Amino acid sequence: MCTTCGCGTGQLYVDGKKIQREVSSDKPMHYRSYSSNETHHPMQEQKTIDFGASIAGTHAPGISQARMVKIEQDILSKNNQYANKNREYLSKHGIFALNLVSGPGSGKTTLLVNTINALHDRLSITVIEGDQQTDYDAARIRETGATAIQINTGKGCHLDAHMVGRAIQQIDLQTNSLLMIENVGNLVCPANFDLGEAHKVVILSVTEGEDKPLKYPDMFHAADLMLLNKCDLLPHLTFDVDLAIKYALQVNPNLTVIQISAADNTGMPAWLEWIEAGHILKTIKPA
């Protein structure tokens, strides 16, 4: 049927003879050469130029055989499907998952090591480490006795839900445990990729600029908690803590902020409390 007006494509007859529809309009036209002395008998060839035979099925001249296909699909829909699967699995097993995001060098791994050391008596902790190359970070985590699995993204600048799903399959996660996912050091792309975590935790260190939340707003918008790390260095720096927090709250008024130092353990109790409160909420959910 023609998609322009709805007319059908019945059997075509020319001079009472059935004409087979063979030629589609997509094929190049062949012209007779002027030098040909043969008498031309077009009907003997029994070929028809059918402008309606192609995929658009339109008979009207001037309308392209190309057709429009509605998609209306989120570019990240595939990732979000994987993330939902991860979230379902984690929530079914009462696992509290955190996605730690920051620029490179903000002290994520040191913070993780100290967090594990402080909590490992009370909680079973597993770590998924994301880096472009090397398994140095996973090795540092394993030294604490916690289970760690390293994902090397190669050229990839972030972890995605599929990678994390594969990692979860490979490790034996305990029910009611804590899963820390250390994302690739990057303040841009990881903001967009839901991994199925309960919360994104953004780490900003005071050796960076206080205007980072405005420069990289998406990450601070996506996070639920901001850890302002390396606060032990504040006496040596010109970093304006109040301004940094003001900027962060401007991007995300619902952001919780904890000032912390992984080096001298300032602020660690508040951070550990936050983890344990979230973990309890996860575990009392009906399994």
Partner 1 sequence: MSLAENVLQIIEQSAIEQKFTRIKTVWLEIGLLSCVEPEALRFHFDVVTRDSIAHHAQLEIIRIQGYGCCNHCAHEMPLASIYDSCPKCDNYDIRIIRGDEMRVKELEVK
How many other C-beta atoms are found inside a 10 Å radius of the C-beta of residue 126?
Answer: 23
Cα angle at 214 between 213 and 219, to 5 degrees?
50
Task: Say how far apart CA 63 and CA 175 lie, in whole Å.
Answer: 61
Report if residue 2 touches partner 1, rule: CB under 8 A. Answer: no
130/213 with CB nearer partner 1:
213
Stretch touching partner 1 by CB under 8 A, among 7-15, 42-50, 100-108, 153-161: 153-161
State which of residues 77, 133, 169, 238 lies at the interface with partner 1 (CB under 8 A). Answer: 77
- DSSP of 22-62: -EETTSPP-PPPTT--SPP-HHHHT--EETTSSTT---STT
Specify the residue for token string 């209306």. 72
Least distance between partner 1 and beta carbon 3 (Å)? 13
Task: Say how far apart CA 80 and CA 83 lie, in whole Å.
Answer: 5
Report if residue 92 touches partner 1, rule: CB under 8 A. Answer: no
State which of residues 156, 171, 176, 276 lies at the interface with partner 1 (CB under 8 A). Answer: 156
Structural Rg of the chain based on CA atoms:
31
94/217 with CB nearer partner 1:
217
Binding mask of the shown chain, residues 184 to 203, with x at each position contacting partner 1 by CB under 8 A: ----xx-xx-----------
193/271 with CB nearer partner 1:
193
State which of residues 78, 92, 122, 166 lies at the interface with partner 1 (CB under 8 A). Answer: 78
Answer for the pair 241, 85: CB distance below 8 angstroms, yes or no. Answer: no
Binding site for partner 1 (CB under 8 A): 26, 54-55, 65-79, 155-156, 158, 160, 188-189, 191-192, 213-214, 217-218, 221, 247, 249-251, 253-254
